[in-house]
Chain A
Amino acid sequence: MLDQLLSNFSYDFVRNAFFAGSIAAILGAVVGYFVIIRNVGFAAHALAHIGFTGATGAALFGLSSLQGMLLISCVAGALMGVSGNKLHRSELAVGMVLSFALGVGTLFLALYKGFAGQATSILFGNIFGVSHSQIVATLVLAILSLVALALFSKRLLFASLLPELAESRGISLTGLSSAFMVILGIAVTLASQVVGILLVFTLVIGPAGIAARFCRGFWSSILISILIGLFSVWTGILLACVTNWPPSFWITAIIFTLYLIGETLARYVFRLER
């Protein structure tokens, strides 16, 4: 049984999937924790979906879909950040931008017919198709994001929890949220390579959301969030190898199960109110 599982690692594409999945899971877990405490879940979801337009547009302009998604998610993230704290938390504002962006994506899709086949893998993920160069790009981007985040994470934590106070200590909330939203743009793009644009929520917000329900400290939240992310990606990929079902299905199913268990424990065992 174990031998059988391990034998999967003799395949290049399985190793690649593990590697890219792990990187995306770690970045998603860390960034996701800030998404949770900043309460910008919908904006995160929207940033991922806007990536679709980037991917379809990229085909038109001769870029790779990763480049296209990255570009548009980061630009959209920066714009959301600059537009101010109220606006990018507003469901109406984010929803408007999102639907317009997806509309443009549809146009690109119609203009560039050859793309339709790729669309499914962009929407639902194609972790087994990750190439070596994509892995290098993923690693570099993740390291850059984590280093950047490390530089201002103390400020970000403070400003996320008590924005008024942070502002009173001379922290620019707009600058901070723009920088964070760009990093979020990177995180959702990397996560969408694993589970697809439509399912990014699972990897970027799921683990952190479950962790934030229980953990009382910043570092314990981050750590548990990373562990949940890695566990789901690894188990999901292995189960996909064994069953031949899509890894995106398994990863979402595992995180959903963990969420249900977590919610039940939180409510009936720890008696935490929502």
Chain B
Amino acid sequence: MTPALSIRDLGIRMGGRQILHGVSAEIHEGEFIGIFGPNGAGKTTLLRALLGLCPISCGELLVFGKSPGKANHSIGYMPQRGDSIEGTALSARSLVSAVRRGESWGIPWPSSASRNDVALALELAGASSYADRPFSVLSPGEKTRVMLAQSLIDKPRLVVLDEPLASLDPKNQMLLVEHIEKLRKETGTTVLFIAHDINPLLGVMDRVLFIAGGGAALGTVDEVITAPSLTRLYGMEMDVIKTDKHVFIVSSESNVTEAACHA
């Protein structure tokens, strides 16, 4: 079976700076991958590269065996920010409906098939109850759900979510993660999930892709989230504190946890 994502010795340069280099990873279909790393590490850049939105300077990146941009109809994408629609009076339902087969020609006439798909995606994302209110008045957490619905609309084989937990409270973080996990079980989609705190994802992730210092490490939590492996990535002394249910990454020098740094 072709892997969902196969990355070999990938390098990305942007604005004259080497953002990522020597990244290799193979992600299988149906996996739930948590992507972590400090601000500016290149997490969003990697997602954009696999969508074909930013050029690769060296190495190879294949999505379902095809080069980036060639398999995008089977990828659902939730961008880190939706600035362009912050003020819109359009309802969540209209937004999701605009995304459905958004790349087709003609007029955006909502057929009954389209209305069903939209209702289903909203249902799946748990956003049905406020689907007809204007998007601009929804709370950040509700907006996240709508954006999730939007990413599910064209029945993707791969869903890439860029920090869906930002601006959610701990309870809603948990609910959203459970929700996405349930979705994955039902539909068998591959999930790439960027977050800053590892803990909400501990129970559901198959593996972790940790990006720092231009490089990346892929493996299970126990393999990657260890003091030696993170020290190598960050290029500075890092410690990992594990309790029964929690993991904290701390810099040995500054005694702040990774989660606390970025919250």
Contact = CB atoms under 8 A, between A and B. Distances in A.
A155 B79 contact: no
A274 B134 CA distance: 11
B152 to A, nearest CB: 13
B84 interface: yes
A272 interface: yes
Main secondary structure of the interface of A (DSSP, over half): helix
Contacts of B108: 153-154, 157-158, 218
Contacts of B91: 216-217
Interface stretch (A65-73, A166-174, A246-254): A166-174
A161 B85 contact: yes
A116 B77 CA distance: 56
Given A151-B106, A216-B132, A218-B98, A164 B89 contact: no
Contacts of A217: 90-91, 93-94
Nearest to B92: A216
Given A154-B108, A165-B99, A166-B103, 12 more contacts: A150-B106, A150-B107, A153-B106, A154-B102, A154-B107, A162-B79, A164-B77, A165-B79, A168-B77, A216-B93, A216-B94, A272-B134
B53 A164 contact: yes
Q: Which interface class (under 10, 10 to 19, 20 to 34, 35 or more) fits A?
A: 20 to 34
Contact of B102 (A165, A214, A272): A165
Contact of A165 (B77, B107, B132): B77
B84 A168 contact: no
Interface string B72-95: 110101010010110111110111
Interface residues of B, number: 37
Of B51, B53, B104, B107, chain A has the most CB atoms within 10 Å of the CB of B107
A171 B102 CA distance: 9
Interface of B: 51-53, 69, 72-73, 75, 77, 79, 82, 84-85, 87-91, 93-95, 97-99, 101-108, 132-134, 136-137, 150
Nearest to B87: A274
B102 A155 contact: yes
A154 B89 contact: no
Contact of A161 (B90, B105, B106): B90
23 contacts: A153-B106, A155-B102, A155-B103, A155-B105, A158-B98, A158-B99, A158-B108, A161-B90, A161-B98, A162-B85, A162-B98, A166-B103, A168-B51, A168-B53, A168-B69, A168-B75, A170-B69, A213-B89, A214-B89, A215-B90, A217-B93, A272-B89, A272-B134
Contacts of B85: 161-162
Interface of A: 37, 39, 150-155, 157-171, 212-218, 221, 272-274
Contact of B103 (A39, A158, A215): A158
